[in-house]
Amino acid sequence: MVKLKNIFVLALFLISIGGVSFSTACSKDKKGKEMVSQQTGEHGMPADWKFTMPHGDPVQGRKIFVEMECYKCHEIKGETFSAVGGAEKGVGPELSEIAGIHPVEFIAESIINPNAVIDPEDKEKGYLGDDGKSKMPDYNNLLTIQQVSDLAAYLASLKGQKHAVH
């Protein structure tokens, strides 16, 4: 009789444990679903989603601009980089007013994927090679994502004279 009672208690105990773990599993499921349903737009992507760059440091970016010798092709008015002569001088656009023209993500894309946007005037300006592609070198194996963010942050800080009010 005593033994039977013990088995009964044990059974009750096991059922209650089972119940608890079952209910926690359920509530986890519920939470997961709630998180997904908070996002709007197609396939869980917010409707106003936009690619964002990680935070960049403009001071570091300027250093990288010098280390990578970006100034050889890109003049920046008001900056004092080493004097540039030779074939690369003026190969790329002057960048002192780029902040007034392009957002930081566009600037970053110009660095990691120079051919993503080719301006129709780029050819006349001598920015393209014979293959119709940008003369800008590929830095993707040389720069970390942080360095790209820093470079973009530096260039995005260049407001020039005309766009100084932005």
Which is closer to ligand HEC, CB of 14 or CB of 116? Answer: 116
Quick check: 134 binds ligand HEC (CB under 6 A)?
A: yes
Quick check: 81 binds ligand HEC (CB under 6 A)?
A: no
Quick check: 68 binds ligand HEC (CB under 6 A)?
A: yes
**How far apart are the C-alpha atoms of 128 and 119, rounded to whole Å?**
10
Closest distance between ligand HEC and the C-beta of residue 152, in Å? Answer: 8
Closest distance between ligand HEC and the C-beta of residue 33, in Å? Answer: 43
Quick check: 73 binds ligand HEC (CB under 6 A)?
A: yes
Phi, psi of 120 (to 5 degrees): -55, -30
Closest distance between ligand HEC and the C-beta of residue 114, in Å? Answer: 4
Q: How many C-beta atoms surround the C-beta of residue 60 within 10 A?
A: 16
Phi, psi of 5 (to 5 degrees): -65, -40
Quick check: 79 binds ligand HEC (CB under 6 A)?
A: no
Single residue of 56, 62, 96, 98 touching ligand HEC by CB under 6 A = 98
Single residue of 110, 149, 153, 160 touching ligand HEC by CB under 6 A = 110
User: Near ligand HEC by CB under 6 A, which window of 12-20, 24-32, 47-55, 106-114?
Assistant: 106-114
Quick check: 107 binds ligand HEC (CB under 6 A)?
A: yes
Residues that bind ligand HEC (CB under 6 A): 65, 68, 70, 72-74, 88, 91-93, 98, 107, 110-111, 114, 122, 127, 134-137, 139, 151, 155
